[in-house]
Each structure stands twice: as structure tokens, then as C-alpha cells.
């Protein structure tokens, strides 16, 4: 049961930004919610799925964001309210549909929430999704606080219905994953019946007409935005500096101004409806000061639009000194923080600010230097460690400088020491298999290196199936290793077509990965990565083949999934110190130095390896790689 469905209007609760968005959707009477997991957006549909039956709504983990948006759009076209949530990359995937939907229009309220991840705290790339609003001529809202996230989402459904357009809400990690006070509203009990109007065809052409209609809708939206209470101004009548801030940056701006004691000198325009711009509102406040500082992340989206507005309305607004990313006052990459902003304000306003004595800072930095780094690695018993170990061995024995193309998931750690540096490329979901299609055709141009792609099970259903079809059809020559750990692990174990369970907890037949590959007519084998020798053997054979794509399904359950079950340990593992060679020539700490499972501890005082029983999950892989057979494995007693 999630707190977001608490029926207690007026109660003050601590909600995560994503939970507030979910609550706002519930308060608006949303009926259909769909998403694909992606940080920092996963908790929106995640929390809605927990209350789905309770609230009588339909919630789905779709295989990708385009399908998710289509699912939510269907609800809208049938007169119900729908919500689709995604991270920045998801909007890229959904955009083809979105830029047709804007022209065909919607019926029931449709809200698309995109959660950007400035500084790529848990992403492969950095991207400012707000540009999609401009490209698609769609209304865009940016919440700055948690209460606002809820209120804005609720209002966005009404706005969407008024305009007949999907409404974009753009959040960022620091709002989505942060928590704050939210006063709960009423949960509705309205019922609508789903009905699709078959009288009128829904088609984006002829664009001469539909595109014009779209523009008219946007004009109408501007009218709403001019009156929106989400936009406001705080500060003196005529400040020395006017800050225009949106999203999380507004919180930073408010705090920075207060902390630096600049409340009397600096005014802040909180812009929440950021596309289309509420022009009159902005013109009114731009008049207040001759110096304007734009604070936003990541791109100068508002900055450029407002400067264009100021140029257009020069006579009303006057000549301005604009500061922001264009002037280098604010960094043009990465997330904004209160400290970066305070630094900029210090120099603009010419004020000193030292939060703490310089010598303390120096001592503290030195002391922190002693804290050893926590590099990321695979969990104890992770099948990816075993698969990458086998891949490394097979490629090294093959000797033709073969390489691994990959993409996103826990297995992305294959680029680093945890995965023995095997993965060589990382792009979008399914890109490993996609690139392999290309590399797999370069033999005719002299490429002699064997091509391998890795792809997780969730990623397979998300994006790699078309790539595999392409490979079968165009006869690309590569080996595809499907890392099937029965989980969408990195984002929090959301179910997918291979897990046999839906978002709403229903048990469903598994979409059989091996069967799917067979149906495509490709050579496919299944192997347990914990059996290293067998995996190396099969992979070595596949590497030598030149007959089109081969699929090796490396199938073993995620260690964290297994840990939730009572019979979590497969084997009891221990190191025989009489046999262990430790640092000596003949071993040189293969298990701790190279294999590096956190369950294996190097004890410098005894010069031997030992097993940390609290961490070891008993997978037994280490026992098979020890050159002395000094790691013993016995069947675990329950």
C-alpha cells in the first residue's frame, strides 16, 4: 500500500516528487497509467501500480516508452484521463508518436511526465527534454516544489482537456527523487465510461490545417498561462538584479538569495509554465530591472526564448543586460546547485560570502582524502560477473581482438573493472545489438575481429527485438549474448514480459525469449553463466562461426532477487587455507585481485583469501576458477 492513495484530504505528508505527481494524477481521476522504468521517473508508475486495484485504475509497465505513451493516449482518445511517465531517453523513444498526436489532438486529459537527469546521476547521457515542447508545440509545465508537483499534475489534466492536447510536465532528479511536505487533496469518485468516437478519423494530415489548429491551441494555452498562479514574482519593486528561474532552480535561487542576504536587492521570477511563454507576465516583470539572470538546467531553453521575446517587445521592455549560459555566468553543462548559483551571485552583486573558515575546509578536504573510494561493482553472486569472466576468457583465447558492444543496465558496469573492461561501447537501450548489426557487415571491408553484443532481458523486450530481426534478415555476422537475470534490476526490479508478472501483480505467461529467437530462425542456445567452462565453450564456438547472428542466452537469476528467498544460498563456500596460495607465484590472488567478488576477502595478515559469509551468496563460481581448487563448495543446508 502506498502513501499516495491515503484518503485523508488536508493531511500533511512527506512525499517524493514522483509520489506527489502520482498523487496529483489520482486526485485528477486518472484511469490509465503506463511507463517503462527509468531513473528518475520509475516511482511514478511504481507507486501507482501499488494502489491500482485499490483505486480501480489500470497501471502498466510497457516494454518501451512509445508503447507506454500509446497506451495512455488510447485512454485519452476513449475519453478517459491517461498518464505516461518516462525519463529523458524515454521521451526520445516516444517522440515519434507524440509529434503525430499533437496534430491529431486528444480527448480525455493526457499528461506526459518526463523526468530529466541533469549531470547524468543515473543516466547514460545528459539531455534537456524541454525542447520537445517547442518542437511539438505542446504546453510545458515545470514544478519547483513537491506541493506544486501535485497541484500542477492535477491541473495539467484539466488544461489538456481544455486544449485537446497532451500536456508535458518536466521534472528533474532533484524534484522527482527529493521529498517534501505535501498537503493531500480530495480523491475523486467520478466514473467515466470508455468510448471511442468512430465518427471522425484521427489523422495528422492535412498539416496545412492541423498544424494551424495546433498553433491556435497554443495561443489559447498562453491565455491560461498568463493567469496561472504557478508563475509569480517575489522581491522588491525595482531590484538590482532580476532572476528568472524554473524547476528545481527556483528553490536554489530562493535559498541563495536569502543565504546571501540579497532579499532587498534581488527579485525572483518563478516561471512554471515555460512553453509557450506567458509573454505579458514576463514583459511586466522584465521591466523591473536592467539586469536579468536566467537560472535553469540544462540548456538555455527559457533564456533564449525570453531574449527573443525581449527583442520582439524591445519598446516595452527596454535594453537589458542578460546573464546566463550565453555569458558563461552559469555553467552550460551539468546540474545547477545552490553553491554554483551563490558563486555567480557573489560575483554579479559583488559581495563576499564564506560559509566556513578556509582552514577548516582545507583540513576537512585532507581528512576526506583518507576515505577509500567506493567503486561500483557487481553484487556478490551476480551472474554478470560470471558472464563477463567467460566473455573475457573466450575473446582472449580467440585472439582476434574481438569486442563487446553494449547498452544500459547493471551490466553497463562491464565497461569498468567490475566487468573486466569487456564492454566497449554504451549508448541507448538496445544499441549494442544495433551497432552489432553494422559491425557484423564490415567483414567485407576487412574487419577481422569477432563482434559480440550484450543485452539485458528487459532491454531485449524494449529495443533489441527489432535489431535481432534485422540481423536475421540482413545476415549480420555477430554473437548476441542475452543476459537474462529475470529482472529489470538497475531501476528497482520492475516486472517485464520475461518475469511472468504484471505491474498490477497479475501472474501471466512468460514471453519466451528463447522461443522468440527460434521463431526468427536464428541459432540460439541457453547456458548457465555460473558454469564458466561451458559458457566459454559455447561462446568460443559461436565466435568462430561466420553464419549470421547467433544468440547465447546467459540465464541465471539476479543475486538480489535470489536473496529475497529463504533458500538464498546455493552452496556453502569456504577457502581451505592449506591449499590457498594467496600472493604466491601460481595464483597471485586471482579470486580477490582479478575476479573481485565482494564475498571474497583478502586477509593480509594470514596471506590467504577467505569468504565473508555475510556477503557470499553461494553461487560457487569462485570455486571453479581457483587454480588450486582451494575454494570448497558444499551443498547448503537449509
Partner 1 sequence: MILEKDPWNIIITGVGGQGNVLVSQILGQMLVDKGYVVTIGETYGASQRGGSVMSHLRISHRAQFSPLIPEGLADLVVGLEPTEVLRVLAPYGNPSTIVLSNTRAIYPIDVISGDAKYPALEDVVEKIKGLSKKLWVLNATEIALGLGDPIYSNIVMLGALASLELLPIDEEGFARVVEILMPSNRLEKNLQAFRKGAQAVREFN
Partner 2 sequence: MEENRGLKALETLVFDRDLCTMCGACAQMCPYLVPWKGRIVKLHDCDLPEGRCYEYCPRTRVQLDDLQEAVFGTTEVDPEMGVVRRVLATRAKDPEMRGKAQTAGSTSAIVALALEEGIVDGALLTRKGDELLSEGVVVRDPARVWECAGSSYVASPTLATLNRKRWSREEKLAVVGIPCQILALAKMRRSKFPNPTARPKVVLTVGLFCTWALNFGPFSRFIRERFKGESILGMDITPPPDRLLLVKTQQGTQALPLDDIRPFIRPTCAICWDMTSELADISIGTLEGRSGWNTLVVRSQLGEEILDRAVERGLLEVEEMRKEELAHLKEASLLKKRRAILALKERKEGGSGYLDPIPRWAHLVEVASEEVAR
Q: Which residues bind partner 2 (CB under 8 A)?
A: 392-393, 396-397, 399, 581, 583-588, 590, 593-594, 625, 627-628
Query: Hey, is 514 helix, strand or coil?
Result: helix
Stretch that binds partner 1, among 268-276, 375-383, 421-429, 545-553 (CB under 8 A): 375-383
Closest to partner 1 by CB, 513 vs 626, is 626
Least distance (Å) between residue 312 CB and partner 1: 33
Least distance (Å) between residue 397 CB and partner 2: 5
Query: Hey, is 235 helix, strand or coil?
Result: coil
Q: Which of partner 2, partner 1, none lies near 625, with the C-beta cut-off 5 to 8 A by kind?
A: partner 2
Least distance (Å) between residue 60 CB and partner 2: 45
The residue among 138, 135, 173, 188 whose CA lies nearest residue 25 is 188
The residue among 619, 582, 581, 584 whose CA lies nearest residue 598 is 619
Q: Which of partner 1, partner 2, none lies near 254, with the C-beta cut-off 5 to 8 A by kind?
A: partner 1
Q: Are strands 110-116 and 523-527 parallel, antiparallel or unpaired?
A: unpaired
Chain Cα centroid distance, residue 141 = 19
612 binds partner 1 (CB under 8 A): yes
Look at the block and give the residue holding cell 539531455: 127
Q: What angle do CA 616, 618, 623 make, to 5 degrees?
A: 100
Query: Hey, is 402 helix, strand or coil?
Result: coil
Distances in whole angstroms, Cα of residue 289 to Cα of each of 249, 296, 304, 324: 20, 19, 18, 15
Rounded-to-integer distance, Cα 394 and Cα 404, Å: 12
> What residues have CB less than 8 Å from 460, skipping those under 6 apart?
430, 482, 484, 498, 513
Report H helices in 181-278: 207-226, 248-259
Q: Which of partner 2, partner 1, none lies near 259, with the C-beta cut-off 5 to 8 A by kind?
A: partner 1
Distances in whole angstroms, Cα of residue 140 to Cα of each of 132, 134, 153, 312: 9, 9, 11, 22
Q: Which of partner 2, partner 1, none lies near 53, with the C-beta cut-off 5 to 8 A by kind?
A: none
Q: Report CA torsion sign: 358, 364, 370, 376.
A: negative
Are 513 and 442 in contact by the 8 Å Cβ rule? The answer is no
Closest to partner 2 by CB, 504 vs 587, is 587
Which of 219, 373, 578, 637 contacts partner 1 by CB under 8 A?
Answer: 373
Look at the block and give the residue holding cell 558472464: 387
Residue 610, φ and ψ in degrees, nearest 5: -145, 165
Rounded-to-integer distance, Cα 555 and Cα 557, Å: 7
The residue among 382, 386, 384, 378 whose CA lies nearest residue 535 is 386
Closest to partner 2 by CB, 357 vs 399, is 399
C-alpha cell at 47: 507507486
Chain Cα centroid distance, residue 529 = 28
DSSP type of residue 373: P
Contacting partner 1 within 447-486 (CB under 8 A) = none
The residue among 554, 497, 453, 517 whose CA lies nearest residue 36 is 497
Q: Roughly what angle, to the nearest 10 degrees, separates helices 88-104 and 207-226? A: 110
Which of 147, 425, 540, 624 contacts partner 1 by CB under 8 A?
Answer: 147
Which of 44, 221, 323, 410 contacts partner 1 by CB under 8 A?
Answer: 410
Closest to partner 2 by CB, 100 vs 540, is 540
Are 496 and 61 in contact by the 8 Å Cβ rule? The answer is yes
Q: Which of partner 1, partner 2, none lies near 217, with the C-beta cut-off 5 to 8 A by kind?
A: none
Closest to partner 1 by CB, 5 vs 138, is 5
Report H helices in 322-382: 338-349, 358-368
Closest to partner 2 by CB, 436 vs 630, is 630
Are 161 and 190 in contact by the 8 Å Cβ rule? The answer is no
Which of 85, 344, 379, 404 contacts partner 1 by CB under 8 A?
Answer: 379
Q: Is 525 exposed, middle or buried (0-12, 13-18, 19+ CB in 10 A)?
A: middle
Q: Which of partner 1, partner 2, none lies near 608, with the C-beta cut-off 5 to 8 A by kind?
A: none
Least distance (Å) between residue 417 CB and partner 1: 9
185 binds partner 1 (CB under 8 A): no
Rounded-to-integer distance, Cα 633 and Cα 573, Å: 5
Contacting partner 1 within 67-126 (CB under 8 A) = 121-122
Stretch that binds partner 1, among 59-67, 244-252, 466-474, 539-547 (CB under 8 A): 244-252
Q: Which of partner 2, partner 1, none lies near 421, with the C-beta cut-off 5 to 8 A by kind?
A: none
8 binds partner 1 (CB under 8 A): no
Q: Which of partner 2, partner 1, none lies near 147, with the C-beta cut-off 5 to 8 A by kind?
A: partner 1
Closest to partner 1 by CB, 58 vs 252, is 252
Are 32 and 78 in contact by the 8 Å Cβ rule? The answer is no
Least distance (Å) between residue 600 CB and partner 1: 7
Closest to partner 1 by CB, 187 vs 601, is 601
Which of 405, 600, 619, 626 contacts partner 1 by CB under 8 A?
Answer: 600
Closest to partner 1 by CB, 312 vs 347, is 347
Closest to partner 2 by CB, 285 vs 596, is 596
Which residues sit opposite 600 in a β-bridge?
611
Which of 134, 179, 211, 313 contacts partner 1 by CB under 8 A?
Answer: 179
Which of 23, 174, 320, 392 contacts partner 1 by CB under 8 A?
Answer: 174
Least distance (Å) between residue 532 CB and partner 2: 12
351 binds partner 1 (CB under 8 A): no
| Maximum distance among all Cα pairs of the chain, rounded to whole angstroms | 88
Which residues sit opposite 453 in a β-bridge?
405, 480
Q: Which of partner 2, partner 1, none lies near 365, with the C-beta cut-off 5 to 8 A by kind?
A: partner 1
Stretch that binds partner 1, among 125-133, 234-242, 427-435, 589-597 (CB under 8 A): 589-597
Rounded-to-integer distance, Cα 256 and Cα 246, Å: 14
Q: Which of partner 2, partner 1, none lies near 392, with the C-beta cut-off 5 to 8 A by kind?
A: partner 2
413 binds partner 1 (CB under 8 A): yes
Stretch that binds partner 1, among 72-80, 298-306, 377-385, 436-444 (CB under 8 A): 377-385
Least distance (Å) between residue 582 CB and partner 1: 10
Least distance (Å) between residue 315 CB and partner 1: 37
* Cis? peptide before 74, omega within 30° of 0: no
Q: Contact positions toward partner 1, by CB under 8 A? A: 3, 12-14, 39, 121-122, 145-147, 174-175, 177-181, 248, 251-252, 254-256, 259, 337-339, 342, 355-357, 360-361, 363-365, 367-368, 370-379, 410, 413, 418, 490, 560, 589, 592-593, 596, 598, 600-602, 604, 612, 614
Amino acid at each position: 500500500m502506498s502513501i499516495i492513495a491515503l484518503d485523508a484530504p488536508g493531511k500533511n505528508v512527506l512525499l517524493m516528487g514522483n509520489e506527489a505527481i502520482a498523487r496529483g494524477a489520482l486526485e485528477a481521476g486518472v484511469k490509465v497509467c503506463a511507463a517503462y522504468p527509468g531513473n528518475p521517473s520509475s516511482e511514478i508508475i511504481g507507486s501507482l501500480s501499488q494502489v491500482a486495484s485499490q483505486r480501480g485504475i489500470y497501471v502498466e509497465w510497457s516494454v518501451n516508452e512509445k508503447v507506454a505513451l500509446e497506451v495512455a493516449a488510447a485512454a485519452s482518445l476513449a475519453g478517459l484521463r491517461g498518464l505516461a511517465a518516462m525519463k529523458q531517453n524515454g521521451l526520445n523513444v516516444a517522440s515519434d508518436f507524440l509529434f503525430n498526436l499533437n496534430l491529431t489532438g486528444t480527448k480525455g486529459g493526457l499528461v506526459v511526465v518526463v523526468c530529466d537527469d541533469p549531470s547524468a546521476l543515473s543516466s547514460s547521457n545528459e539531455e534537456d527534454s524541454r525542447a520537445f515542447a517547442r518542437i511539438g508545440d505542446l504546453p510545458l509545465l515545470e514544478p519547483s516544489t513537491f506541493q506544486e508537483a501535485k497541484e500542477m499534475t492535477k491541473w495539467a489534466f484539466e488544461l489538456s482537456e481544455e486544449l485537446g492536447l497532451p500536456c508535458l510536465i518536466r521534472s528533474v532528479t532533484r524534484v522527482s527523487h527529493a521529498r517534501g511536505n505535501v498537503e493531500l487533496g480530495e480523491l475523486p469518485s467520478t466514473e467515466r465510461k470508455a468510448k471511442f468516437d468512430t465518427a471522425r478519423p484521427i489523422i495528422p494530415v492535412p498539416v496545412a490545417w492541423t498544424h494551424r489548429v495546433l498553433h491556435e491551441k497554443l495561443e489559447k494555452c498562453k491565455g491560461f498561462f498568463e493567469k496561472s498562479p504557478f508563475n509569480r514574482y517575489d522581491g522588491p519593486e525595482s531590484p538590482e538584479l532580476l532572476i528568472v528561474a524554473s524547476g528545481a532552480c527556483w528553490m536554489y535561487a530562493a535559498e541563495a538569495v536569502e543565504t546571501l542576504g540579497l532579499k532587498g536587492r534581488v527579485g525572483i521570477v518563478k516561471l512554471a509554465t515555460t512553453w509557450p511563454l506567458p509573454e505579458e507576465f514576463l514583459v511586466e516583470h522584465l521591466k523591473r530591472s536592467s539586469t536579468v539572470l536566467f537560472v535553469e538546467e540544462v540548456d538555455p531553453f527559457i533564456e533564449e526564448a525570453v531574449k527573443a521575446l525581449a527583442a520582439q517587445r524591445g519598446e516595452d521592455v527596454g535594453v537589458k543586460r542578460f546573464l546566463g549560459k550565453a555569458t558563461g555566468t552559469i555553467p552550460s553543462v551539468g546540474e545547477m546547485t545552490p553553491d554554483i548559483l551563490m558563486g555567480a551571485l557573489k560575483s554579479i552583486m559583488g559581495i563576499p560570502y564564506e560559509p566556513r573558515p578556509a582552514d577548516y575546509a582545507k583540513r576537512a578536504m585532507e581528512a576526506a582524502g583518507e576515505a577509500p573510494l567506493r567503486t561500483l561493482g557487481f553484487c556478490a553472486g551476480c551472474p554478470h560477473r560470471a558472464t563477463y569472466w567467460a566473455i573475457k576468457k573466450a575473446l582472449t583465447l580467440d585472439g582476434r581482438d574481438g569486442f563487446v558492444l553494449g547498452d544500459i543496465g547493471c551490466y553497463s558496469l562491464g565497461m569498468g573493472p567490475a566487468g573486466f573492461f569487456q564492454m566497449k561501447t554504451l549508448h541507448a537501450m538496445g544499441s549494442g545489438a544495433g551497432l552489432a548489426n553494422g559491425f557484423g557487415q564490415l567483414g567485407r571491408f576487412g574487419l577481422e575481429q569477432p563482434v559480440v553484443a550484450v543485452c539485458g532481458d528487459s532491454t531485449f523486450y524494449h529495443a533489441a527485438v527489432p535489431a535481432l530481426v534485422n540481423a536475421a534478415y540482413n545476415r549480420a555476422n555477430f554473437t548476441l549474448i542475452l543476459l537474462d537475470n529475470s529482472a529489470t534490476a538497475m531501476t528497482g526490479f520492475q516486472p517485464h514480459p520475461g518475469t511472468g508478472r504484471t505491474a498490477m501483480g497479475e501472474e501471466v505467461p512468460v514471453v519466451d525469449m528463447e522461443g522468440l529467437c527460434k521463431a526468427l530462425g536464428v541459432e540460439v542456445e541457453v547456458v548457465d553463466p555460473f558454469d564458466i567452462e561451458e559458457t566459454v565453450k559455447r561462446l568460443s564456438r559461436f565466435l568462430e562461426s561466420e553464419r549470421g547472428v547467433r544468440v547465447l542466452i546467459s540465464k541465471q537469476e539476479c543475486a538480489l532477487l535470489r536473496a529475497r528467498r529463504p533458500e538464498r544460498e546455493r552452496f556453502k563456500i569456504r577457502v581451505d587455507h592449506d591449499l590457498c596460495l594467496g600472493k604466491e607465484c601460481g595464483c597471485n590472488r586471482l579470486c580477490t585481485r582479478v575476479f573481485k567478488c565482494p564475498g571474497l576477502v583478502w586477509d593480509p595478515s594470514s596471506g590467504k583469501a577467505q569468504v565473508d559469509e555475510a556477503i557470499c551468496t553461494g553461487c560457487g563460481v569462485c570455486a571453479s576458477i581457483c587454480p588450486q581448487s582451494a575454494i570448497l563448495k558444499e551443498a547448503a543446508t537449509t
